[in-house]
Each structure stands twice: as structure tokens, then as C-alpha cells.
């Protein structure tokens, strides 16, 4: 098969590599119909994730079709169309039993394109298939569900749910990249009074308005704390969601939040940030951190099927799967290309329910 193979920092290629096969009876082999690239893949290519061994196929987000199942797989069969998510669940360890699949100690967690071959490929081996993939309703296209593989559950679980967003809240989202925009989209499910988006890039703030932000602040030019206080009668935001991953934005969130409010950190941090307990100790604030578990994926799928959530605006660019290298260039140059998510479409990508029938009959 052809796949995007990592060859160490700064080096990757779209090349011929071994077809995946069943290694454990709980495995399934999935033909990748649509895949996408994540900011984490760019981190891997910079060498920031040293566990990723040269020779690994990258990618951890896809929609595909089951073509083979191991002898212990009982709920999936050939032809089933499935969402393959960034998190795999063994279904048996303590964390999986509590719904904390991201922390799986039984061989799951974030493994695709990290510890095992990933999903920017024509085919993939999917471990623990019964407990890790989600069947896609016939009525939905690949692009409607593809972003449930990472950004939507991440922003919803680690941002909106950890932050306890509620009706009437003022929600400040710092960082309007794909994760921040997904936080804006899923925060709106709770009817907040207002969503305020903060970013340094005006183009991202424009996107934030398209995704439902009521107010935008360029915190490079404006005094964000003063603007948020003015909007909230001097109190501050009920919830501040950190969706960047640098010390300044974490510290900014702790200044934006009102007494008694929540700071939900989503960003992946590479440097230590200062926790200003000298001002926070008296404010009754709750600060949460987290890795996505994807326990909300079925709920988000229902919201999409019910017409209440539409993640398709995240798809800003489309490429054939074999043009994955060009897709990486476009995605990595988001400042110039305005890319949010680039969709990699295989030969059988489902763009309409009609296409679904053709894909499965092959
Ligand atoms: N916790 C998890 O499970 C999890 C999962 C996936 C991604 N993440 C993390 O979430 C974060 C956001 O991901 P993304 O894909 O949206 O990233 P991104 O880089 O595409 O977007 C980040 C945005 O932050 C803005 N920004 C940068 N510095 C800023 C500053 N000082 N103030 C305001 N805005 C600033 C950028 O202009 C950009 O629009 C990353 O740190 C990523 O690693 C966490
Ligand atoms: Zn990702
Ligand atoms: Zn587990």
C-alpha cells in the first residue's frame, strides 16, 4: 500500500510500504476512505514527540471501511463504514471501564501515528476494533463525521465540559485554531450569553465569528482583560478555555476568569507556566487539564445526525490521499493558506449518501 511515512525529524514521504495484516484476534483492517492532518503531526515532524519511531505511518483521524476482522471481533463486519478515532480503547483496563480511554493502560490510548502505524494510508490495522471504532450512519458523509476523530471531542470534553459551560455564561476562548473554533462550536450547544474569541491573528478571529463567536479580541493589540471586564460588569468570564498551549495564554485565562469561574486548559504545553496563587487563592477558581478521552463521540455523532451540529466548515482544503505531501504543505502554511483542516480523500471517499452505497458494494 501507499502511506505517509515518518523518517525522523523534518523527513517524511508518501511511499510504498507493507500492507497491514491482522496481528491480534481483536484487530480489524480498515480501508481509509477519508483522513486528515493534525497539528500534532507537525509537532512529530519537528521532533517534539521522540517516541515516534522512524518508519511509522503518521495520522490518527479517519473514516474508512472494514475489509477484514480478526476472529474475536464480533460487532463489526466487512463493509461496515467506521470512524477511526485518535483514541483506542482496550475496553478492559480500569481507565477504559471508567470512560477514560485516553489513559488506557491495556495497549490503547493515543497509539495511531504515534506508537503504531497510523491512518494517513490506504489501509490500517485497527487494534481493539470492537471497543474503539464508531459505526457511521448511512445518511452522513465522511466530512460530516471526520472531525469527530479528534478536534470536536477534544474541545468539547477538555474545554466545554471540563469548564462546565452553562446557559447564560460568558465563555472566553483563547486561541482560534481548529481546537478553539471547535470549543466555540460546542460551547454554543449550551446557549451561553456570549462567546468571546481571542487570538493574535485577525484571519483566525474572522473564522471565530463564522463559527459563532459574538465578540472577538486581538489580544496582541487590545487589553483583553479590560474588554472582558467591561462586557461582564467587572466580573470576568464564567469560563476561560485555553486553546493555544503557551505560558502567556494560560496566565491570561486565569486573569480573564471571574471569581468562582472555571479555567479549562486544552493546549499542550512545552514550557512551565506560572500559577499566580498570590491573586488566585481568594478567587475560588477551578482549573482543569486533560487529554481527550472521546467518551462523547457517540453523543456528538447523534448531534450531527440530528442536524444540531455541523463540523463541515472545518474542511477548508481537499486533496487526493496520494497528494498527502501537498496537503501537508498547505496545512503547515496555515498563516498564508487559511487552512483549518485539510481533507485527504481516498478513492472511495463518501461525499454523499449515494457514494456510500457505491463504496460498500466494491
Ligand atoms: N488536550 C488535548 O487532548 C489536546 C488534543 C489536541 C490538541 N491539543 C492542543 O490544543 C492546542 C490548540 O490546537 P490547534 O490545533 O487549534 O492549534 P493551532 O496552532 O492551529 O491554533 C492555535 C491558535 O492560537 C493562536 N495564538 C498563538 N499565540 C497566541 C497568543 N499569545 N494569544 C492568543 N492566541 C494565540 C494562533 O494564532 C492560532 O490561531 C495545541 O496546543 C494543541 O497541541 C490538545
Ligand atoms: Zn490530533
Ligand atoms: Zn484500556
Angle (CA) 185 191 192, round 5°: 85
| Cα 22 from Cα 64, distance rounded (Å) | 16
- Amino acid 277: pLDDT: 96
Whether the Cβ atoms of residue 60 and residue 150 lie closer than 8 Å to each other:
yes
| Cα 47 from Cα 45, distance rounded (Å) | 5
* pLDDT, tens digit (0-9, with 9 covering 90-100), for 137-171: 999 999 999 999 999 999 999 999 999 999 999 99
Q: Is the CB of 35 under 6 A from ligand 1?
A: no
User: Ligand 1: distance of its center to the CA of 337 in Å?
Assistant: 17
> Which residues of the chain have a pLDDT value below 70?
353-362
CB hemisphere CA count around 284 (13 angstroms): 5
Ligand at shortest distance from the CA of 153: 1
* Ligand 1 atom at shortest distance from the alpha carbon of 179: 16
Largest CA distance in the chain: 64
Ligand at shortest distance from the CA of 38: 2
| Cα 120 from Cα 322, distance rounded (Å) | 10
- Amino acid 353: pLDDT: 63
User: Ligand 1: distance of its center to the CA of 23 in Å?
Assistant: 36
- Neighbour tally for 326: CB within 10 Å: 14
User: Ligand 1: distance of its center to the CA of 275 in Å?
Assistant: 20
Q: Is the CB of 224 under 6 A from ligand 1?
A: no
| Cα 255 from Cα 284, distance rounded (Å) | 13
Nearest to 62 by CA among 40, 90, 30, 18: 30
Q: Is the CB of 294 under 6 A from ligand 1?
A: no
* pLDDT, tens digit (0-9, with 9 covering 90-100), for 203-252: 999 999 999 999 999 999 999 999 999 999 999 999 999 999 999 999 99
Whether the Cβ atoms of residue 112 and residue 86 lie closer than 8 Å to each other:
yes
Q: Is the CB of 172 under 6 A from ligand 1?
A: no
Q: Is the CB of 219 under 6 A from ligand 1?
A: yes
State the residue for C-alpha cell 465569528: 209
| Cα 188 from Cα 341, distance rounded (Å) | 21
- Amino acid 76: pLDDT: 98
* Ligand 1 atom at shortest distance from the alpha carbon of 268: 41
State the residue for C-alpha cell 459505526: 135
Q: Is the CB of 244 under 6 A from ligand 1?
A: yes
User: Ligand 1: distance of its center to the CA of 282 in Å?
Assistant: 29
The cell for 139 is: 445518511
- Amino acid 360: pLDDT: 52
- Amino acid 362: pLDDT: 41
Q: Is the CB of 245 under 6 A from ligand 1?
A: yes
DSSP character at residue 200: S
Whether the Cβ atoms of residue 309 and residue 333 lie closer than 8 Å to each other:
no
Q: Is the CB of 291 under 6 A from ligand 1?
A: yes
CB hemisphere CA count around 323 (13 angstroms): 14
Whether the Cβ atoms of residue 8 and residue 54 lie closer than 8 Å to each other:
yes
User: Ligand 2: distance of its center to the CA of 206 in Å?
Assistant: 23
Q: Whose CA is nearest to atom 32 of ligand 1?
A: 199
| Cα 216 from Cα 212, distance rounded (Å) | 10
Amino acid at each position: 500500500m501507499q502511506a505517509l511515512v515518518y523518517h525522523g525529524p523534518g523527513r517524511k514521504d508518501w511511499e510504498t510500504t507493507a500492507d497491514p495484516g491482522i496481528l491480534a484476534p481483536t484487530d480489524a483492517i480498515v480501508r481509509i476512505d477519508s483522513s486528515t492532518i493534525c497539528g500534532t503531526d507537525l509537532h512529530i515532524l519537528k521532533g517534539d514527540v521522540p517516541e515516534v519511531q522512524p518508519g511509522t505511518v503518521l495520522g490518527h483521524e479517519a473514516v474508512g471501511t472494514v475489509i477484514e476482522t480478526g476472529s474475536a471481533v464480533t460487532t463489526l463486519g466487512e463493509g461496515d463504514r467506521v470512524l477511526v478515532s485518535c483514541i483506542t480503547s482496550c475496553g478492559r483496563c480500569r481507565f477504559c471501564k471508567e470512560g477514560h480511554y485516553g489513559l488506557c493502560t491495556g495497549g490503547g490510548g493515543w497509539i495511531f501515528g504515534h506508537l503504531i502505524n497510523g491512518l494517513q494510508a490506504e489501509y490500517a490495522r485497527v487494534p481493539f476494533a470492537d471497543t474503539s471504532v464508531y459505526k457511521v450512519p448511512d445518511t452522513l458523509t465522511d466530512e460530516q463525521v471526520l472531525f469527530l476523530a479528534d478536534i470536536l471531542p477534544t474541545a468539547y470534553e477538555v474545554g466545554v465540559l471540563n469548564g462546565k459551560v452553562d446557559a447564560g455564561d460568558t465563555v472566553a476562548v483563547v486561541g482560534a485554531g481548529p481546537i478553539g473554533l471547535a470549543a466555540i462550536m460546542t460551547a454554543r450547544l449550551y446557549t451561553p450569553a456570549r462567546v468571546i474569541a481571542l487570538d493574535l491573528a485577525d484571519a483566525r478571529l474572522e473564522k471565530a465569528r463564522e463559527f459563532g463567536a459574538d465578540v472577538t479580541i486581538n489580544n496582541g493589540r487590545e487589553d483583553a482583560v479590560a474588554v472582558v471586564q467591561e462586557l461582564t460588569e467587572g466580573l470576568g468570564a464564567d469560563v476561560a478555555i485555553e486553546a493555544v498551549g503557551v505560558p502567556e495564554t494560560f496566565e491570561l485565562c486565569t486573569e480573564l476568569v471571574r471569581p468562582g469561574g472555571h479555567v479549562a486548559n486544552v493546549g499542550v504545553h512545552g514550557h512551565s507556566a506560572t500559577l499566580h496563587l498570590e491573586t488566585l487563592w481568594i478567587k475560588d477558581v477551578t482549573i482543569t487539564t486533560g487529554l481527550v478521552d472521546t467518551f462523547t463521540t457517540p453523543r456528538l455523532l447523534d448531534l450531527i445526525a440530528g442536524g444540531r451540529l455541523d463540523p463541515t466548515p472545518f474542511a477548508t482544503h481537499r486533496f487526493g490521499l496520494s497528494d498527502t505531501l501537498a496537503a501537508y504543505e498547505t496545512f503547515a502554511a496555515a498563516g498564508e493558506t487559511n487552512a483549518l483542516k485539510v481533507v485527504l480523500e481516498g478513492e472511495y471517499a463518501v461525499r454523499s449518501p449515494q457514494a456510500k452505497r457505491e463504496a460498500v458494494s466494491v
